[in-house]
């Protein structure tokens, strides 16, 4: 069974979201995201990692 991690708030100023995800995403993971912004650049940077996950619920907030 997968370990559930405590949610983090990442601001892309002192730590980068894609780096945190890059180090955390594993095959078969379910990744839940709440974000106002998720750019195509972020997707491109994570594409190989995102291809490993089973599901990614995404909530876009304004």
> How high is the pLDDT of residue 55?
82
Is 43 a member of any domain? yes
Count: domains in the chain: 1
Residue 59 has pLDDT above 80, yes or no: no
Determine the average pLDDT of the residues in 7-12.
Answer: 72
Is 7 a member of any domain? no
Per-residue pLDDT reduced to its tens digit, 12-32: 677 777 787 787 788 888 877
The pTM assigned to this predicted structure is: 0.50
Is 11 a member of any domain? no
d(Cα 47, Cα 61) in Å, to the nearest integer? 22
d(Cα 14, Cα 27) in Å, to the nearest integer? 27
Is 46 a member of any domain? yes
Q: Are 28 and 54 in contact (CB under 8 A)?
A: yes
> How high is the pLDDT of residue 22?
81
């Amino acid at each position: 069974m997968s370990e559930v991690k405590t949610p983090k708030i990442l601001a892309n100023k002192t730590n980068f979201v894609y780096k945190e995800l890059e180090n955390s995403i594993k095959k078969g993971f379910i990744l839940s995201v709440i974000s106002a912004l998720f750019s195509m650049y972020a997707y491109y940077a994570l594409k190989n990692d995102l291809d490993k996950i089973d599901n990614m619920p995404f909530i876009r907030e304004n």
